[in-house]
Structure formats: structure tokens, C-alpha cells
Structure 1
Amino acid sequence: MSKKVFIKGAITPEFIADSIAKHQGKHTIGAHNIFLGQVRADVHEENVVKAIEYTAYEEMANEALAVIRERAFAQFDLVCMHIYHSLGVVKAGEICLFVFVSAGHRPQVYEATEAIVNWIKTEVPIFGKEIFENEDFVWKQNK
């Protein structure tokens, strides 16, 4: 069974808070770590980014994310792992990526979060089109 990863538009603070609250009853968890990716108002040749429009090859992306999920559970001693990524337009200052990992102890969550974010950036076919205030755009390079 694959987990729902893609969310239309920005990931809201309420969604993040609700996700955290759902883990209070899991008493084998001793540590959580969260990565939040936020759209920056970068400046390119005097043009300011006002938003990023995210698209993905969803079937391929879901397959790649399932592999990442399996790898994370095999490599780190995790209790839970959740990945959410925006599709569509996300404005500067809004959240577009939410990675939430839980484990019995803290070292695993730090290592796992960094690895998972790096795997997402390098292995998942998600694309961002930076939209400037003047309505021009450029395809974003993952870093």
C-alpha cells in the first residue's frame, strides 16, 4: 500500500500540527524530527520569485518514494515516517515539503531526516517552475 504524498497547494501549519498530534498515542516513540521546505523569494537577475509551481510524474514519483520509504526503514530504526510534497502553486513563505520521522531514540531521526530529504531531492521526479513577480519563470534546479 502506498502512502498519500502529494498535496494540492501549500502544506498548512494546521496539517503539520495535526500530523504531530496523531502520534501522541504511539508510546514506543521517543524522538521526532521534522524537515519543512519553504519557498524562498530568491532573486535572479533582479527578478524576485513570488511562487513555485510544482509538477511531478506522479506514478514514477510514487514508485521512487516507496523505494525511499523501504530504504529508510531498512537503514534506520524508525517507528514512523511521513513525506508530503506540494503540487501546484506555492507562494514564497509557504511550506512545500514536510518530512516527519519518528523513532525510539534521537540519533536515528536526525540521520534519517537528512538522508530522506537528500534522496527526495536527487531521486524523485518532482519539478518546480519559479514564477517571478513580473510573471516570467524559470525551471528550478534542485540543490
Structure 2
Amino acid sequence: MPLITRIFLKTGMVWFLIALLFGVAQQINALTFPSLSVLFWHSLMVGWITQTIMGVSVWMFPGRVKEESLQHQKWSWMAYGFLNVGLVLRIISEPFVNTSELAMWKYLLVVSAVTQFIGILCYVIEIWPRVLSKKQRRQQRKADH
């Protein structure tokens, strides 16, 4: 199993625990943030589910270069970085978007969304060539050489 897959899966489990904490806090009303439900669902769906899917698919889809190097896995690492930076920015900014008069939090939330979107695009760039048909892959290899 490649290192990037292990990192995606371990980080996904951390986000699962964070989502669990948000869920418990929401149920016992320990925190009064109106956005706690949003943080719970975002941590669960993007942090845990999406990262688990991304990690496993990077490992399991055919056509991956077996050599573990930053050069061969750059799109996966960029997807990982952008996605997690975006998630952290979301956790930081979401509670203050509706409660603070500072526009900074709204801009930070937009930066969070854009960063996560870039992470997903990096993942698509990594996976797209792997889901081509055998004929398309052969044609692409011929064009590359």
C-alpha cells in the first residue's frame, strides 16, 4: 500500500473522530455554534468519506506507477494537501461567518471552498488516465513516446 494511501486513510480516520466529537457536542448542546451541524457533516463527508475513497482509489485503480516518489504521486499529494487545508480553514471560519461582523470570515470560507475544489481537481487529474479503456491507454502511451 503506497504511503499516500496510508496517509489519506489515517487522516480520514482523524476526521471521522472530529466529526464524532462535533456530533456528540451537537447532541448535548455543549457548544452553541449554529454551524455545528455543518461542521459535523463536512467533517464526516469530506474529511472521512471522501478521503477514504480517494486513498483507496489511488491505490486500487490500475495504471499507477509503483515507484513511490513525489514526482509520480504529485497530484495525489496535492489533492491531499489542498483538501485538508481547505477542511481546516472551514473548521476555523464556519463558526464565525454568521456571528461576526468581520467580512474576513466569509472570505476565509470562500478560500476554504476554493482550496477544497482544487484538491478534488488534483484528484481527478490523478485518477482520470486510469479509467481510460485499454485502447485509449495504449494510444496515450504511443503519443507520449
Query: Aligning the two structures, in what range does the TM-score lie when normalised by the shorter sequence?
Result: 0.3 to 0.5
Higher radius of gyration, 1 or 2:
2
| TM-score, normalization by structure 2 | 0.34
Q: Which has a greater percent of strand?
A: 1
Q: Which has a greater percent of helix?
A: 2
| TM-score, normalization by structure 1 | 0.34
Q: Point out which structure has higher relative CO (alpha carbons under 8 A, 6+ apart).
A: 1
